[in-house]
Amino acid sequence: MRRTRKRAVNWRNLGWILTLITVLGAMLYIYIAAQLPYFNAKRQAQNVAAKYAKITKVDDFYWFERGDDYYAISGRDQKGESYYVVMAVKDRKISKVNIYSQNKGISVQQARQLVAKNRHPQKITQVALGMWTQKKHKFPVWEVTYYNKNHQLCYDVISFKEGTVIQTIQNL
């Protein structure tokens, strides 16, 4: 007759495994909670762009935070025409919608190239489309955020329509 040995539960290993599962679960929860405002804003902007500009294909989403918040959608309608839909946001609600044909101004790639040519950044970290107020007049702008060769944060605000630099802040 063969004897079988009962295997003792290794409580130490089980404790480590449960701890690891708990830590990973907490990290996943924190990550999802941190991303939720972005995903909600994007979904809200897509719905507004579809309603007001008849956007059927979304290419990109931008979140511009400069005093006032703006969401922007880059996309195309059913005819294939490309638009930027820029939305003013107050208390997480859309308060005003502006629609611009993409061929009436510079593209995100052109804004990046302008900064790369003029500033020689180490790395461009973000480009966002929003609205800028100058002398009580609002107009669309690209905000290009980057690190310069000294590893300092900088940004340029570039007019969407003219492609000129409106404001630059260096060495933050």
Return d(Cα 110, Cα 81) in angstroms, integer.
19
Residue 50 domain boundaries: 32-104
pTM of the model: 0.80
71 shares a domain with 124: no
Are residues 135 and 118 part of one domain?
yes
Q: To 5 degrees, how large is the angle CA 73–CA 76–CA 78?
A: 140
| pLDDT tens track, the chain, 172 positions | 566 666 666 778 888 888 999 999 999 999 888 888 888 999 999 999 999 999 999 999 999 988 889 999 999 999 999 999 999 998 888 889 999 999 999 999 999 999 999 999 999 999 999 999 888 889 999 999 999 999 999 999 999 999 999 999 987 7
86 and 129 co-located in one domain = no
Q: Are residues 123 and 165 in the same domain?
A: yes
Whether residue 117 sits in one domain with residue 73 = no
Q: Do residues 92 and 60 share a domain?
A: yes
Number of domains in the chain: 2
Residue 38 maps to which CATH number?
Answer: 3.10.450.40
1 is a domain residue: no
Alpha helices in the chain (DSSP H): 11-53, 108-119
For residue 18, tell me if it sits in a domain: no
The DSSP-derived string for 51-68 is: HHH---EEEEEEEEEESE
